[in-house]
Amino acid sequence: MKVGIVCPYTWNVPGGVQQHIGDLAEALIGFGHQVSVITPADDDARLPSYAVSAGRAVPVPYNGSVARLAFGFLSSARVRRWINDGGFDVLHVHEPAAPSLGLLACWAAAGPIVGTFHASYQKSRVVSVTAPILQSALEKITGRIAVSEAARKTLVEHLGGDAVLIPNGVDTERYAMAEPLPGWPGRAAAGAARPDAGGALGFLGRMDEPRKGLQTLLRAFEILGRERPGLRLLLAGPGDADDVIARVPPELRPRVVVLGMVSEADKIRAYHSVDVFVAPNLGGESFGIVLAEAMSAGAPILASDIEAFDRVLLGGRAGALFPVGDAAALAAAAGALLDDPARRKRLSAEARAAVRAYDWSSVARDVVRVYETVAVDSAVVVESGLGA
């Protein structure tokens, strides 16, 4: 099958959508499909062999933040040429409601089109104003996919129409093995008696976003850190490090390590550096890609019992749960886990098994089924007249 995938955001800027598309493309190529990805990219960017550039994206204010989007005559012409030359069986457009390449591709194409909706938001004035403009482009999409229940709800409420749910995938292999970060013993040594013997808790996520629940974890660390003189806390993710440190009592500060933004490789190593990975999110999480990554790395997990986490962790079998927002309960549960290496080992094995359902190979298989459903007969994607 020849598949053309449209990426709306600049390829070399890290982001969930870009990573999703890269992983999907590689999984599809692994299945033996022919894949071409068109994406905005900086002029000197190095793209993988399956990707072609549609030119630079420009930062513009959109929907309350500054987004880098590709639009205009040049991008439009390049998308048209790419569709014309591609002869695709299916066109797969990501985030077609964003004013970028995805929307341009919907305008420029006719035939079997699959659209994947990633974003979810509570309310958006912009979308309700622009819905009529989007309508005629979005109407061309034959099969819609939402990556989460929240994304699906956003689609139903703001744009109308329905979608099938195919969650984000995780390349579980990529996270499976890694050396711990320098200065961190890692779990391999966890069973043995260690001189510092305090263990390590880990957190990954935006540190300045209250919904990620870092505040709960910091309060729990205040309790636990005083009880356990060797316990350390490893924090990674975007946000102001000084601001976080300021929230920790002075005597505990030497034991809190803030990595800030980390590279992909260091992120994986961070998952392997801690004894218990804590996901204290307060809500608003539809799936929790971070949780799935930590599960792939085999980290014993302690997560808040919000609905999404409860489901991913199989009701507590693949990771311990604590009442959301309850710092004392988090401290108690983390303490119990730190004292029970056998249970940690069991949770780690269960997590690795449970996360297989979210592996890219099973996600890509479902996406291929969607392709096969919409690509009837021998219809191919063709260029369409303007707006028709």
Partner 1 sequence: MFPDWIIDVLFWVAVAFLAAVYVSWRATRLDRLHVRVETARAALDAALVRRAAAALELAASRLLDPATSLVLATAAHEARTADADNREFAESDLSRALRAVVDQPEFASTLEAKSDGQAVLEELSSASAKVAYARRFYNDAVAAARIARRKLLIRVLPLAGRAPLPGFFEIDDAPPGI
CB of 369 to partner 1, least distance (A): 5
Distance (Å, whole) CA 7 – CA 91: 11
Count of beta carbons in the 10 Å neighbourhood of residue 128: 12
Burial (CB < 10 A; 0-12, 13-18, 19+), residue 162, is exposed
Size of the site for partner 1 (CB under 8 A): 20
The neighbouring-strand residues paired with 68 are 59
CB of 50 to partner 1, least distance (A): 25
- Binding partner 1 by CB under 8 A: which of 75, 142, 154, 296? 142
CB of 372 to partner 1, least distance (A): 7
Binding mask 78-117 for partner 1 (x = CB under 8 A): ----------------------------------------
Q: Does 18 bind partner 1 (CB under 8 A)?
A: no
Distance (Å, whole) CA 286 – CA 308: 6
Distance (Å, whole) CA 336 – CA 262: 29
**Nearest residue (CB) to partner 1, 128 versus 263:** 128
Distance (Å, whole) CA 245 – CA 342: 33
Distance (Å, whole) CA 282 – CA 216: 9
**In 93-148, alpha helices (H):** 101-108, 125-138
What is the Cα gyration radius of the chain? 23
Distance (Å, whole) CA 289 – CA 171: 11
CB of 373 to partner 1, least distance (A): 5
Q: Does 132 bind partner 1 (CB under 8 A)?
A: no
CB of 378 to partner 1, least distance (A): 13
Token pair listed for 112: 């079997």
- Binding partner 1 by CB under 8 A: which of 20, 80, 144, 267? 144
- Binding partner 1 by CB under 8 A: which of 129, 193, 342, 388? 388
CB of 62 to partner 1, least distance (A): 25
Count of beta carbons in the 10 Å neighbourhood of residue 136: 12
Binding mask 147-186 for partner 1 (x = CB under 8 A): -------------xxxxx----------------------
Which of the ranges 24-32, 139-147, 234-242, 295-303 carries the binding residues for partner 1, by CB under 8 A? Answer: 139-147
Window 315 to 374, contacts with partner 1 (CB under 8 A): 366, 369-370, 372-374
Nearest C-alpha neighbor of 21 from the set 65, 60, 52, 59 = 52
Q: Are 321 and 313 in contact (CB under 8 A)?
A: yes
Nearest C-alpha neighbor of 276 from the set 327, 340, 200 = 200
**Nearest residue (CB) to partner 1, 61 versus 385:** 385
**Nearest residue (CB) to partner 1, 338 versus 370:** 370
**Nearest residue (CB) to partner 1, 61 versus 387:** 387
Distance (Å, whole) CA 277 – CA 303: 8
Q: Does 376 bind partner 1 (CB under 8 A)?
A: yes
CB of 184 to partner 1, least distance (A): 40
Binding site for partner 1 (CB under 8 A): 136, 139-140, 142-144, 160-164, 366, 369-370, 372-374, 376, 387-388
